[in-house]
A and B are shown apart, each in its own frame.
Chain A
Amino acid sequence: MKSAWLSIVLVAGCVDYMTPDPRDTLASLPSDVPTPADNPTTPEKVALGRALFWDPILSGDRDVACATCHHPDFAYGDGLAVSVGVGGRGIGPVRATNLDAPRTPRNAQTVLVTAFNGLTLDGAVPAEEAPMFWNHRVASLEQQVFGPIKSDAEMRGTSIPEEQIVDVIVARLAGIPEYAVLFEAAFGAEGVTPSTLAKAIAAFERTLVPTDTSFDRYMKGDDDAMSTSAIRGMHGFIFQGCARCHNGPMLSDFKLYELPIPATHGGPEVLGEATGKFRTASLRMISRTAPYGHNGVFENLSEVADFYHNIPVTTPLLEGDVEPPLGGGDDLLAFFEALSDGAFDRTIPDRVPSGLSPGGP
């Protein structure tokens, strides 16, 4: 048996190594989470931010929390193609059963690892400039907070005008003694303001970074961390051109592209806009965050792989060999799993200071 293995090693030793183009390489995540100079992370801010993240009091009708569509049971997404904010009940796919509830125009991206948004092969961007949302319409986690709160379909509803909703929420929070204590502990005399509200939630979101994945551990030197299949998948991923856009530590170049993503899925219902430019999605935690695409049109990763395999070559971006290896889809899935197996905070609080149901009804 020993000689058999020796023969195999000798034969297998005759191999050259692929050296990808420098812009097509991958890397592990750094250990330090970038934070803005005016909002260093503290335990008090994180505790407050966690409470706010789970509290439906941030919505116009007190029925939707951040956690409603960014729930740990769905890797801080919601498992829906496009989200159901106001008018929905429960979490996850069950929210889609209320056909009268408005749909948001986009798939809810996971909050996990968003602390590193903007980190590319060129390095990290300042936390104040980290791109947010599918179309990068705001910068920084702090500014991102106000997007869903002001959106009528996501959290605001129709009972309170957009220009008033933040002030209404701040007033609500200031009127709850427990929140007054938490804000004072986190921000001192600054108290409850739109700015401290946003800073607290952002500080909590910066803690939602999974532990090292198999990919990260392998890249940092643990030879046993990734399976052979996953390594073959990584090779295919780079060789076939996926890493032209999905590169760097986040497996995203954080650039905006227009791709012919299908607009509908299995019926006449339109699931979000199919045109326009959207950012290269990070593939961090990708195996846990189905469905996929800015409109959630792809139910699983096999469908995504098929999309790229069959996509018409119509743009310079896709010229060449951007397609999964034939039959190598399983290796790709193994590689994606190696990007997704980090442990993350799954804590669901028993209560929130408003007394409402954590995460919404």
Chain B
Amino acid sequence: MTIFAKAPGPGGNALSVKSNVGPPLLAIGCVLVASPVAEATPEEGSRFTVLRAPDTITVGLGAALPMFVIYEFPGPLANVTLGWDIHAHAQVVASAGAGALHLDGSRRYHGKLGAGVRGFPWRRGPLWGQLGFGLNGYVERTGIVLPERRVSATDLGAQLTADAAVGVAVCGWEVAVGFDFILVPTRYYTSYTGDESLPNRGMAVAWIGRQL
């Protein structure tokens, strides 16, 4: 398992287009690097190799229920979660996910990198709970056909989330639900002061996973 941590070039990080996400990304990286089981060795200046393979790999399919993106229509979600045992009752986990949200005239593709700690009340028991952080980036395209012209826009953005999830794992399958609470929203979500103001919103997620 190799994690690339390329130094940003002169043009900066693409994810900084809409939000200042450099520090959060660094923090997530630090969680992995500082993990007692993820011994990292500098290699070629900016490349790190995690020496130990994950103890669990889980792939999942589910749904994302946006509570601030495009009008609360759920969309498909796929994710993969890697876990490294650090204790009989705990794992460090890293995850990656992708999904899409769609409604008439607007489509959003989102991808997420996350890291956190998963705890098991019983030793490797079926129940688990997880806390962590996530970096959610998206690209969204909006289109409207009006008599006067065709309207379109492409938007890039990212937000930092605090994530919580609970799940049950039985016989290699798991069912989980979670909520990604927006800590740092996309930059222009700042002026509306009404009922729906951020950052009191996030995205609910639910998935069924299979441990490989």
The interface of chain A, by Cβ under 8 A from chain B, is: 1, 4, 8-9, 11-20, 22, 25-28, 218-221, 226, 228-229, 231-232, 234-236, 238-240, 300, 302-303, 305-306, 309-310, 324-334
Interface residues on B, range: 35 or more
> From DSSP, what is the main secondary structure of chain B's interface residues?
loop
Which residues of chain A are within 8 angstroms of B109 by Cβ–Cβ distance? 11-12
- In the complex, identify which listed stretch (B27-35, B86-94, B125-133, B187-195) lies at the interface while the others stay far away: B187-195
Which of B155, B190, B194: most chain A CB closer than 10 A? B194
Q: Is the CB of B192 within 8 A of A302?
A: yes
Given contacts A309-B195, A325-B71, A15 and B139 within 8 Å (CB-CB):
no
> A15 to chain B: closest CB distance in Å?
4
Known: A235-B105, A328-B70. 17 other contacts (CB 8 A): A14-B107, A15-B105, A15-B106, A16-B104, A28-B148, A218-B151, A231-B153, A235-B144, A239-B71, A306-B195, A326-B72, A327-B68, A327-B189, A327-B197, A327-B201, A328-B71, A332-B192
Which residues of chain A are within 8 angstroms of B106 by Cβ–Cβ distance? 15, 18, 232, 235, 239
Given the complex of chains A and B, what is the CA–CA distance between A274 and B140 in angstroms? 41
Is B5 in contact with chain A by the CB < 8 A criterion?
no
Which residues of chain B are within 8 angstroms of A228 by Cβ–Cβ distance? 142, 153-155
Which residues of chain B are within 8 angstroms of A306 by Cβ–Cβ distance? 194-196
Which residues of chain B are within 8 angstroms of A240 by Cβ–Cβ distance? 71
Q: Is the CB of B192 within 8 A of A12?
A: no
Q: Is the CB of B196 within 8 A of A309?
A: yes
- B155-196 contact mask (Cβ, 8 Å, vs A): 1 or 0: 110000000000000000000000000000000111111111
Given the complex of chains A and B, what is the CA–CA distance between A257 and B140 in angstroms? 36
* Beta-carbon nearest neighbor of B199 in chain A: A327
Which residues of chain B are within 8 angstroms of A13 by Cβ–Cβ distance? 141
> From DSSP, what is the main secondary structure of chain A's interface residues?
helix
Given the complex of chains A and B, what is the CA–CA distance between A308 and B65 in angstroms? 23
Chain B positions 63-115 with a Cβ under 8 Å from a chain A Cβ: 67-72, 103-107, 109
* Beta-carbon nearest neighbor of A9 in chain B: B154
Q: Is the CB of A239 within 8 A of B67?
A: no
Q: Is the CB of B148 within 8 A of A219?
A: yes
Q: Is the CB of B145 within 8 A of A17?
A: yes
Which residues of chain A are within 8 angstroms of B69 by Cβ–Cβ distance? 327
> B78 to chain A: closest CB distance in Å?
15
Is B3 in contact with chain A by the CB < 8 A criterion?
no
Q: Is the CB of A330 within 8 A of B71?
A: no
> A328 to chain B: closest CB distance in Å?
7
Given the complex of chains A and B, what is the CA–CA distance between A287 and B165 in angstroms? 41
Which residues of chain A are within 8 angstroms of B148 by Cβ–Cβ distance? 27-28, 219-220
- B6-21 contact mask (Cβ, 8 Å, vs A): 1 or 0: 0001010010000000
> A188 to chain B: closest CB distance in Å?
42
Contact of A25 among B103, B139, B146 (CB under 8 A): B146
Given the complex of chains A and B, what is the CA–CA distance between A236 and B141 in angstroms? 13
Which residues of chain B are within 8 angstroms of A25 by Cβ–Cβ distance? 146-147
Which residues of chain B are within 8 angstroms of A235 by Cβ–Cβ distance? 105-106, 142, 144, 151
* Beta-carbon nearest neighbor of A330 in chain B: B192
Which residues of chain A are within 8 angstroms of B72 by Cβ–Cβ distance? 326
Is B143 in contact with chain A by the CB < 8 A criterion?
yes
Given the complex of chains A and B, what is the CA–CA distance between A328 and B66 in angstroms? 12
Which residues of chain A are within 8 angstroms of B37 by Cβ–Cβ distance? none
Q: Is the CB of A238 within 8 A of B144?
A: yes
> B9 to chain A: closest CB distance in Å?
8
- Ranked nearest first, the 4 interchain pairs of A and B with the lowest CB-CB distance are A18-B105, A329-B192, A327-B68, A302-B194
Given the complex of chains A and B, what is the CA–CA distance between A306 and B152 in angstroms? 27
Q: Is the CB of B194 within 8 A of A19?
A: no
Is B198 in contact with chain A by the CB < 8 A criterion?
yes
Given the complex of chains A and B, what is the CA–CA distance between A12 and B102 in angstroms? 12
Given contacts A1-B14, A327-B198, A232 and B105 within 8 Å (CB-CB):
no
* Beta-carbon nearest neighbor of B198 in chain A: A327
> A311 to chain B: closest CB distance in Å?
12
Q: Is the CB of B11 within 8 A of A1?
A: yes
Given contacts A219-B149, A231-B153, A330 and B191 within 8 Å (CB-CB):
yes
Pairs across A and B, CB under 8 Å, 10 listed: A1-B11, A12-B154, A15-B141, A16-B105, A18-B106, A228-B142, A303-B194, A305-B194, A309-B196, A326-B68
> B25 to chain A: closest CB distance in Å?
16
* Beta-carbon nearest neighbor of A236 in chain B: B71
